[in-house]
Amino acid sequence: MFDFESLWMWLADSKNWEGRYGLPNLLAEHLSLTFMSIGIAALIALPIGIAIGHSGKGGSVVVLLGSASRAIPTMGLLFVLVMLLGVQQRELAVTLALVAIAFPPILSGAYAGIRALEPHIPEAARAQGMTGSQLIRLVEVPLAMPAIVGGFRIAWIQVVSTVVLAPLIGLGGLGFGIIQGLALRNFDQVVASAMLIVILTVLGDQLIGVAQKTQTLKLENSSGGRNK
């Protein structure tokens, strides 16, 4: 069985918290790669997903992209892009790979959220004289919010997991301790890094889950209030 005492000693050792490969720096790198790529993916995927959901055209492409993306190994995608762009451009290559990984779930979330609305809802909004853009801004997007947040939840899991592999191509992030520890047979470092990654990903997932629930409750409360 693994010796947990030496794990705590590794975590308590101040030299693991300092410098280029110290835990705070690795965490910052991990988060900045994750947030930047999810942000870029959202800027592209949200407008497209909303437009496809609104118009109903091109929905099969979204579904196809969603299921095809599950079958593509993220590690292979990462390596292929780094090799195509060259190792000097690896930060760009990683960002591109991560954007490509975050894109399908955010797109599907926005598309599916708007598609799932009862058809009489947009019809009623149009009958009230709403224009297309008012319909999107005031009706479809607010009602699709839980699904949109759900898309971000999957994107977070996928991207944060792929960043764990970044040390394989010479970048940092919390996966560094796993890769280096496996090579050096320093299993304290491996397990400590894995634990921190688990805490980070599960915490992020739960936070997005809370946001998703808040959105759902907000919708339920507002419709309930009007009925009274």
Partner 1 sequence: MTWALNNAELILQLTLTHLFVSLIPLGLGFVLAVALARVTPAPFTPGITSALGAVYAIPSLALFVALPALIGTDFLGLTNVMIALTIYVISSMFFSARDAFTSLPPATIEFARAQGLSASQRFFFVEFPLAIPGLIAGARIAAASTISMASIAAVVGVRNLGYLFLDGFQRRIFDEVFAGLLAIFVIAIAVDLSLWLLGRALTPWSRRSRV
Query: Which of 7, 40, 44, 65: binder of partner 1 (CB under 8 A)?
Result: 7
Give the binding range for partner 1 (CB under 8 A) out of 41-49, 90-98, 134-142, 192-200. 192-200
Based on the shown chain and the rule CB under 8 A, indicate whether residue 190 belongs to the binding site for partner 1.
yes
State the Cα–Cα distance between residues 26 and 97, nearest whole angstrom.
Answer: 19
Quick check: 141 and 129 in contact, CB under 8 A? no
Residue 130 or 168 having the CB closest to partner 1 = 168
Based on the shown chain and the rule CB under 8 A, indicate whether residue 108 belongs to the binding site for partner 1.
no
Quick check: 128 and 168 in contact, CB under 8 A? no
Query: Which of 47, 73, 124, 214: binder of partner 1 (CB under 8 A)?
Result: 73
DSSP E strand stretches across 71-172: none
Query: Which of 11, 36, 44, 194: binder of partner 1 (CB under 8 A)?
Result: 194
Quick check: 62 and 107 in contact, CB under 8 A? yes
Residue with tokens 């091109």: 58
Q: Give the interface size with partner 1 as a residue count (CB under 8 A).
A: 44
The residues, any chain, with a CB within 8 Å of residue 25's CB and separated by 6 or more, are 19, 172
State the Cα–Cα distance between residues 7 and 145, nearest whole angstrom.
Answer: 42
Minimum distance, C-beta of residue 37 to partner 1, in the bound complex (Å) = 15
Query: Which of 70, 120, 226, 228: binder of partner 1 (CB under 8 A)?
Result: 70
Quick check: 181 and 187 in contact, CB under 8 A? yes
Instruction: Note the residues at the interface with partner 1 (CB under 8 A).
Output: 1-2, 4, 7, 67, 70-77, 79-80, 82-84, 156-157, 160-161, 164-165, 168-169, 175, 178-179, 182, 187, 190-191, 193-195, 197-198, 201-202, 204-206, 209
